[in-house]
Structure 1
Amino acid sequence: MISALNRLVDLVEEHLAEDPDVRALAASVGSTEYHLRRMFSSLAGMPLSEYVRRRRMTVAAAEVVRGEQDLLGIAVRHGYGSTEAFGRAFRAVHGAGPGDVRREGGPLRTQPQLRFRLTVEGSVPMDTRLVNHPAFRLIGHAARVPLVHQGVNPRIQEHIAALPPAEHQRLKALADTVPEGLLQVCDDVDPDGREGSELTYLHGVAVTRDTAVPVDLDAIEVPDGMWAVFRTSGPHPQALQTAWAATATDWFPSNPWRLRPGPSIVSTLDHAPDFTTATCELWLPVEPE
């Protein structure tokens, strides 16, 4: 995976004026575009599309400062059809227009070329198991919410708080398969993990395909397949967030599995009355590399 990500970085440099063909590269290294994009955004801390934009404007800024070519020529070489479109993209990265930078020499916010390296970590074992799960349903109350990388997602909080206490008990009574208990489900997530992009959040439970779905509940159909299940215990939500990050930095690079499209599921198995500590399971859909 590390070598595939570095090949992706090289591909970006070779084709800065156009979007990289991630699908073809993924196929050449025995992976998928979905997994490669998810791993890139997790490890780089930014979506691939944002990295491409920053690198493109970093290289363009050097040409603007040198002043050897008019701005339209620079814009066209970097994939923009007009100086106006180029100027908007340039300002979004550097905080100043290309004309200002040409006169003043800055300000510039450059993006260095990324290079992924394998470091020796993983000194703390991850409590993981692989589950081959038949097709099932996730049922509950769903909402479209923005993706928030850090801190509490207020839209999800509002969504859960709007449900009466009796509804939580009703949902628990409907559950008849694993993952157990009330579930936090994220589905239809942008593979690039762009901040603010929309996803489907469902607060609900897992049921078999034969279980009737009440008409007032939303449902997500989940096909059969393999799941990597990571158990965490300790301060909440820190222990869960640490494990989620470690799946990208430690587990996937060292195991012959890759993410496949599908929902990610968090099951809370036990928790303190004030929720300061909890035991959780993180379910991620996977397939063999």
Structure 2
Amino acid sequence: MQQWNQAIEMIEADLAADIDIADVARAAATSEYHFRRMFSTLAGMPVSEYIRRRRMTIAAADLIRGEGVLETAVKYGYTSAEAFTRAFKGVHGISPGAARTSGASLASQSRLSFHLRVEGTTPMKHRIVDMPAFTLAGLSATVPVIHSGPNPHIIEFERSIAAETRERIAGLNDVEPTGEYSLRWGPSVVPSGAAALIPG
């Protein structure tokens, strides 16, 4: 994690310059290819998008301090005020000029910091039971993987299941365990909101 944070330091130091991702990857002790892949997985966005958001965050502060639009555009590597304005609106939703008005709402990108967190230290009681063949009946949805906190896609899926549908599926269940549960399948989470085990 220390090397990845050093890579972030390099990005922060060069926000007003042309950032060479290959150099940044070397600071993280990996190849550019794997750095880009791991960054997207860990941060939830491509490194190019992170750099763009950070640039526009700092650029907004420069504009509020009184720097001109063209001056700020050139400072952050844009060839024209128009190109800078498009990028600025893409992040903040408003023009650089509007950002200077009192009460303007801006969308800032915080600086990333990587930390190692160990989970799974709490014991979990379970039992293994041999069962005859059965059929799993229920609803499924493929959703993106969320690495931290509740997954809003699963929550939305659960809320979309009508009460009548839950009762109908639960009525099919005639073996243990009873009740509602969910399953993981492959790289994506496939929740089964209300499911039934049916001998097969």
TM-score by length of 1: 0.43
Is the contact made by 1:236 and 1:276 (CA closer than 8 Å) also made in structure 2? no
Q: 1:58 to 1:25 in 2, by over 3 A?
A: closer
Q: Say if 2:3 is the partner of 1:56.
A: no
| Alpha-carbon distance in 2 for matches of 1:105, 1:60 | 17
Q: Say if 2:118 is the partner of 1:120.
A: yes
Counterpart in the other structure of 2:101: 103
Q: Shift of the alpha carbon at 1:101?
A: 1.2
| Alpha-carbon distance in 2 for matches of 1:27, 1:64 | 33
Mapping 1:2-81, distance limit 5 Å: 2-67=1-66, 69-81=67-79
| Alpha-carbon distance in 2 for matches of 1:276, 1:56 | 51
| Alpha-carbon distance in 2 for matches of 1:25, 1:71 | 29
Q: 1:33 to 1:276 in 2, by over 3 A?
A: farther
Counterpart in the other structure of 2:138: none
Is the contact made by 2:4 and 2:28 (CA closer than 8 Å) also made in structure 1? no
| Alpha-carbon distance in 2 for matches of 1:29, 1:47 | 16
| Alpha-carbon distance in 2 for matches of 1:276, 1:74 | 60
Mapping 1:197-216, distance limit 5 Å: none
| Alpha-carbon distance in 1 for matches of 2:55, 2:38 | 21
Read off the aligned partner of 1:4 and give its amino acid letter. Answer: Q
Q: 1:74 to 1:32 in 2, by over 3 A?
A: same
Q: 1:72 to 1:29 in 2, by over 3 A?
A: closer
Residue by residue over 1:217-238, the C-alpha shift from the partner in whole angstroms, topping out at 9 and shown as x without a partner, is xxxxxxxxxxxxxxxxx94446
Mapping 1:65-214, distance limit 5 Å: 65-67=64-66, 69-123=67-121, 149=144
Stretches of structure 2 that go unaligned for 5 or more consecutive residues are 123-142, 146-152, 154-180, 190-194
Q: Shift of the alpha carbon at 1:27?
A: 3.3
Is the contact made by 2:85 and 2:95 (CA closer than 8 Å) also made in structure 1? yes
Q: Shift of the alpha carbon at 1:109?
A: 0.6
Stretches of structure 1 that go unaligned for 5 or more consecutive residues are 125-147, 152-233, 243-274, 278-289
Q: 1:41 to 1:29 in 2, by over 3 A?
A: closer
More strand by share: 1
Q: Shift of the alpha carbon at 1:34?
A: 1.4
Is the contact made by 1:90 and 1:96 (CA closer than 8 Å) also made in structure 2? yes
Q: Return the structure number with greater relative CO, CA threshold 8 A, min gap 6.
A: 1
Q: 1:235 to 1:113 in 2, by over 3 A?
A: same
Read off the aligned partner of 1:241 and give its amino acid letter. Answer: S
| One of 146, 165, 188 as aligned partner of 1:241 | 188
The two structures, once aligned, show a CA RMSD in angstroms of 3.2
Mapping 1:259-274, distance limit 5 Å: none
Read off the aligned partner of 1:71 and give its amino acid letter. Answer: V
Q: 1:29 to 1:45 in 2, by over 3 A?
A: closer
Q: Percent identity?
A: 45
TM-score by length of 2: 0.60
Residue by residue over 1:177-231, the C-alpha shift from the partner in whole angstroms, topping out at 9 and shown as x without a partner, is xxxxxxxxxxxxxxxxxxxxxxxxxxxxxxxxxxxxxxxxxxxxxxxxxxxxxxx
Greater mean alpha carbon deviation, residues 98-107 or residues 111-120: 98-107
| Alpha-carbon distance in 2 for matches of 1:123, 1:240 | 23
Residue by residue over 1:47-103, the C-alpha shift from the partner in whole angstroms, topping out at 9 and shown as x without a partner, is 111110110000000011111x22111110011111111100000100100011123
| Alpha-carbon distance in 2 for matches of 1:46, 1:8 | 16
Residue by residue over 1:88-121, the C-alpha shift from the partner in whole angstroms, topping out at 9 and shown as x without a partner, is 0000100100011123352211111111111122
